[in-house]
Structure formats: structure tokens, C-alpha cells
């Protein structure tokens, strides 16, 4: 079977994007060029590798098998590069990092500081939800990931490097914004806008209240922190988000952090990679940088004292 590594890379891109068009854009190729290479690969294999359902395409069983082998082959090539780089003492290269959606608020600052000292570094940063990040770790795609509590069903190395406080936010003119040490029992009277089920923040919040025999009234679920903050500013209820996400809202006095018993919920950020992962020199350098210097690079937003609502103030 005469299969090229280029064809396998194209198959990976099409499978990852579920689209020939998006794959061609990602690889800076024309769509006909991608389609032609995939057809040639299917001819070599002797079976179709993709099937179309509606507007999306999916891997066939044969496609899934070829895709799995292509990932292993790609990893072996990366391992070869890593070994040769070590032999050469190379201090530049490509870094692949995946972070959860909340991590996007500080990860660019870590990367910016790191690249200052390693100017030859090319960075691939992907921001995604927890579910997709776990899949990427399972398939050994990124060099490493930044996330909240790591899953316990994968063979991973996870090291905590920074605190991640979860706080309750409200509009500055909310009646509770002026209160101190609000009892948790008072919160069951309020509507909450929370992250979607399965997110790290949602898991931590539900676990916190279940342990205390309380259940919040979740009036809305949203998959983005930005949507939660805007819903809170619109007066739709209270929200629970990471303090890392609130720098601009606090500076502009758009939200208030409530003083609630037991809050903030203190979580941690973890730097995660697969067990036995062969790190390139640049990936190892970033790993060490995050563990040793992140506290000097990333600072938490400072909550401002709750101010009394201004008459006639708008929050559009």
C-alpha cells in the first residue's frame, strides 16, 4: 500500500474539522487539492474513509483505523524531532498548548513572557471546553494542557501551579452587593446563571453546595464566561465565575463580587500532559517556566469595594 505521510496529515485535518473546506483553509491548500489526495488515499486503502451525513462528514470504520495509525505515526515524527533537537541543543521550536476557555484569560500572558526569552518559538494555542480538551489529551495531541481538576480516568501527569478562586458576581445595584458575610442559605432565593454541565467550574460549584445540603436555582446555563457576565450585568441573576475572568468588569465597576460565607471556592490550575510524554526542549522549557514563574507573571484582578448604585445608571 503506497500511502504518503502528507495524505495522512490531510486525513487528520479533514477528520478534525469535519469539513474539506475548513481543512483546506487550515492547511492553506485548495479544496480540490485536499479532495484529490483523500480520493487517492481511499483508492490505496480500497475502502471509503469518509461518509457524508447532511452537511457534515464523518470517518467510516476504516477511516477511524487509518486516523488512529496516522496519529501514532505523527507522534513518532515529533519524537524524532525532539531527540534530534536535544542532540543539537536547540532552544527553539514549536509549542502546542491547549487550555480550557477560562484559561484564555491568562495563558496569553504566560506565553508572551515565555516568548520574550525564547524568541524563536512558534506557538499553537487552542482554547476549548473541558470535554474537547480531555479528548485531545486522550489522543496525545498537545504538548501539554492547562485546565482545572484533571480527569482521573487517563494516565496523566498533573501539577498545580496557580490558584483559581471562584466568586459570586452581581450587578453593582443588586441588593446583596452591599451586604457582608451573606449566608449560603440566602442564595437559594436567587436565580443563578451557571456554566454548562460538565465544565470544571460547574462541577466545583455543584460539589460545593451539595456537600452543604443546598441546591441553587439555576435559571440559565451558558457555555461561555462572557455570556454569563453579560447576563449578570443585564440583571438576569447572579453568576459564579473564576476571578481570573473579571479584570475589566471590576475595573469598570460593571459587576460586584458578593461577600458570601465559604467563598471564594478555591480551585487550582494544573499543567497536564500524558504520562511518558517525550517533551521537546522548548516544551520542557515552557513546562518549567509555568511551574516556577507563573506567580510572577499572572496576578489576580483586585476586587473593588462595592459602591452604591448611581441613580439612573445604565448597564447596557
27 to 15, 33, 35, 128, 249: CA distances (angstroms): 13, 11, 13, 20, 37
Q: What pLDDT does 304 receive?
A: 61
Report yes or no: 20 and 31 within 8 Å, Cβ to Cβ. yes
Share the mean pLDDT of the chain. 87
Q: Distance between CA atoms of 41 and 278, rounded to whole angstroms?
A: 30
Residues 6+ apart with CB under 8 A from 32: none
Q: Stretch 167-174: mean pLDDT, rounded?
A: 95
Count of helices and strands (H, E) across the chain: 11, 11
Residue 68 neighbours by CB under 8 Å, 6+ apart: none
CA 249, distance to chain mean position in Å, is 21
The whole-number pLDDT of residue 246 equals 95
Q: Which of 169-173, 189-193, 307-311 has the lowest mean pLDDT?
A: 307-311
Helices 20-27 and 31-45 pack at an angle, to 10 degrees, of 110
Res 154 pLDDT > 80: yes
pLDDT value at residue 6: 84
Confidence of residue 268 (pLDDT cuts 50, 70, 90): very high
* Contact predicate 215/188, CB 8 Å: yes
Mean local confidence (pLDDT), 278-293: 91
Summarize the confidence of residues 90-100 as an average pLDDT.
82
SS3 label, residue 49: coil
Q: Locate the domains of the chain by residue range.
A: 5-73, 94-156+269-297, 162-267
Would you say residue 82 has pLDDT above 70?
A: no
Architecture in CATH of 94-156+269-297:
3-Layer(aba) Sandwich (3.40)
Q: What is the arithmetic mean of pLDDT over 210-216?
A: 93
Report the residue count for the chain. 316
Residue 35 has a CB neighbour count (10 Å cut-off) of 16
5-73: which CATH topology?
Answer: Arc Repressor Mutant, subunit A (1.10.10)
Task: Please state, in angstroms and as integers, the Cα–Cα distance from residue 40 to each residue in 15, 45, 66, 114, 182, following that order.
Answer: 16, 9, 14, 42, 66
Q: Evaluate if residue 205 carries a pLDDT over 70.
A: yes
In whole angstroms, give the CA distance from residue 232 to residue 245: 14
Q: What percent of the chain has pLDDT over 90?
A: 51
* For range 271-284, the mean pLDDT: 89
Summarize pLDDT for 114-148 with one digit per residue, the tens: 999 888 888 999 999 888 999 999 888 899 999 99
User: What are the strands, taking DSSP E only, across the chain?
Assistant: 50-53, 56-59, 94-100, 122-128, 144-147, 156-170, 191-195, 217-222, 238-242, 256-257, 265-274
Give CA–CA dist 161/159, Å, rounded. Answer: 6
- Cα of first residue to Cα of last residue in the chain, in angstroms, is 62
Among the four given CATH numbers 3.10.20.30, 1.25.40.390, 2.160.10.10, 3.40.190.290, the one describing domain 162-267 = 3.40.190.290
DSSP letter assigned to residue 170: E
Q: Provide the CB-side half-sphere exposure for 214 (13 A, CA).
A: 16
Q: Does the fold of domain 162-267 match that of domain 94-156+269-297?
A: yes
Residue 275 DSSP symbol = T
pLDDT value, residue 91: 59
Q: How far apart are CA 92 and CA 285, in angstroms?
A: 10
pLDDT in tens, 17-37: 888 888 888 888 888 888 898
Amino acid at each position: 500500500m503506497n500511502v504518503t505521510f502528507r495524505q495522512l496529515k490531510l486525513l487528520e485535518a479533514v477528520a478534525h474539522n469535519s469539513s474539506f473546506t475548513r481543512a483546506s483553509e487550515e492547511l492553506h491548500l485548495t479544496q480540490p487539492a485536499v479532495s484529490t489526495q483523500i480520493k487517492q488515499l481511499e483508492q490505496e486503502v480500497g475502502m471509503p474513509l469518509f461518509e457524508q451525513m447532511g452537511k457534515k462528514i464523518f470517518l467510516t470504520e476504516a477511516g477511524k483505523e487509518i486516523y488512529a495509525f496516522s496519529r501514532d505515526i505523527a507522534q513518532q515524527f515529533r519524537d524524532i524531532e525532539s531527540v534530534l533537537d536535544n542532540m543539537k541543543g536547540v532552544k527553539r521550536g514549536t509549542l502546542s498548548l491547549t487550555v480550557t476557555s477560562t484559561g484564555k484569560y491568562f495563558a496569553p500572558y504566560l506565553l508572551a513572557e515565555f516568548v520574550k526569552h525564547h524568541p524563536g518559538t512558534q506557538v499553537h494555542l487552542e482554547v476549548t471546553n473541558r470535554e474537547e480538551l480531555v479528548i485531545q489529551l486522550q489522543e496525545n495531541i498537545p504538548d501539554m494542557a492547562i485546565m482545572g481538576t484533571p480527569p482521573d480516568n487517563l494516565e496523566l501527569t498533573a501539577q498545580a501551579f496557580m490558584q483559581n478562586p471562584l466568586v459570586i458576581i452581581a450587578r453593582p445595584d443588586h441588593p446583596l452587593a452591599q451586604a457582608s458575610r451573606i449566608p449560603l442559605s440566602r442564595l437559594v432565593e436567587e436565580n443563578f446563571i451557571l456554566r454548562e454541565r460538565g465544565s470544571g467550574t460547574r462541577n466545583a460549584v455543584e460539589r460545593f453546595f451539595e456537600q452543604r445540603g443546598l441546591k441553587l436555582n439555576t435559571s440559565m446555563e451558558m457555555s461561555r464566561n462572557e455570556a454569563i457576565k453579560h447576563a449578570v450585568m443585564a440583571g438576569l441573576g447572579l453568576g459564579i465565575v473564576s476571578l481570573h475572568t473579571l479584570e475589566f468588569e471590576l475595573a469598570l465597576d460593571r459587576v460586584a463580587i458578593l461577600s458570601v460565607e465559604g467563598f471564594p471556592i478555591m480551585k487550582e490550575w494544573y499543567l497536564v500532559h500524558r504520562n511518558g510524554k517525550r517533551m521537546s526542549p522548548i516544551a520542557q522549557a515552557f513546562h518549567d517556566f509555568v511551574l516556577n514563574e507563573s506567580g510572577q507573571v499572572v496576578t489576580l484582578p483586585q476586587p473593588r469595594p462595592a459602591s452604591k448604585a448611581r441613580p439612573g445608571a445604565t448597564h447596557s
